[in-house]
Structure 1
């Protein structure tokens, strides 16, 4: 790898994100990282595909991600946003029943292109999301990684939001379990002085 940088997902970087997703066959059955968003498609716009749906949300400023670049090639991302932007978390009913309050931001999905896995880029993407959240004013941030007990029990293709161990290394603390094999990790992120 050459120089690794982080850029925010915007209208200007969407084509880089799209190329990454297309190289990886849409990621998880052509999800395009839309599963966690509310489905606010118009009733007659049901045919709007996930790519177009994601592009529209990015253009409207209601879809966020930290894109990890190797020079000019996007090779990973971490999706983040407010609970209103990303309400569709797994085990939502259980999560809401045990939540004392909602966070300011959620990190819902971290993906690394298959050819670049095993190089610590999921952690880079997570740090990138935290940095972008700090630039946006910071706040309480939650992530919902797999709690593997420190062992790699799953193929990395199915660790869509990393592991508890990775979050702990990045300054998050364990809050509670969520569903079977996942957990809620929390970190207070200070705003960046600008």
Structure 2
């Protein structure tokens, strides 16, 4: 059985991938880029999970999930850039005025890493955006030039991952993560 990527409409599966071990913990829940910083800072404990539950019920939901059979094994956050903090981010430039989508977080569950799931997730995120009319999709991975990236910072992906998915470097950014520069990678979805 292969990996299947589906829209992230099942809150419990999203929580498995990006939620805290304790519901009262104030961790990311993949909200830091998805909602405004004021709301992100105001949401604490279980309120963070409830906000994600609301996002899972919206159209479009907050991303895609990868499944191996019935088991959730991966997550990718993907949404119109206009609805994310990337719309206002001073360190990541806007290449043009297209209503592009952004993919900014790719996570694979421990025990499933090294199986190509991140590639499946990125392909699924591209398909998700394409099906919803996105003219292009961007990512902001690190340009680590083959060096090891700390697992806690690897969520943005690597330039190589995006290149293998057909993305091309569109711009440098002023953002640095784990000592590596981030680059703006873009895939035009208007063709085919």
TM-score by length of 2: 0.82
Partner of 1:6: 5
Kindly tell me the number of residue pairs found equivalent between the two proteins.
184
Where do 5+ consecutive residues of structure 1 fail to align?
none
What is the CA–CA distance in structure 2 between the aligned matches of 1:50 and 1:62, rounded to whole Å? 19
Where do 5+ consecutive residues of structure 2 fail to align?
none
- The within-5 A match list for 1:142-181 is 142-149=138-145, 151-178=146-173, 179-180=175-176, 181=181
What is the CA–CA distance in structure 1 between the aligned matches of 2:73 and 2:2, rounded to whole Å? 12
- Deviation, structure 1 residue 25: 6.7
Q: CA RMSD in A?
A: 3.0
Partner of 1:95: 92
- Deviation, structure 1 residue 87: 1.9
TM-score by length of 1: 0.81
Partner of 1:60: 58
Q: Residues 23, 69 of structure 1: CA spacing in aligned structure 2 closer, same or farther, 3 A cutoff?
A: farther
User: 1:186 aligned to 2:181?
Assistant: no
- Deviation, structure 1 residue 19: 2.8
Shift >6 Å, 4+ stretches: 23-26
Partner of 2:70: 72
What is the CA–CA distance in structure 1 between the aligned matches of 2:86 and 2:27, rounded to whole Å? 17
- Deviation, structure 1 residue 130: 0.5
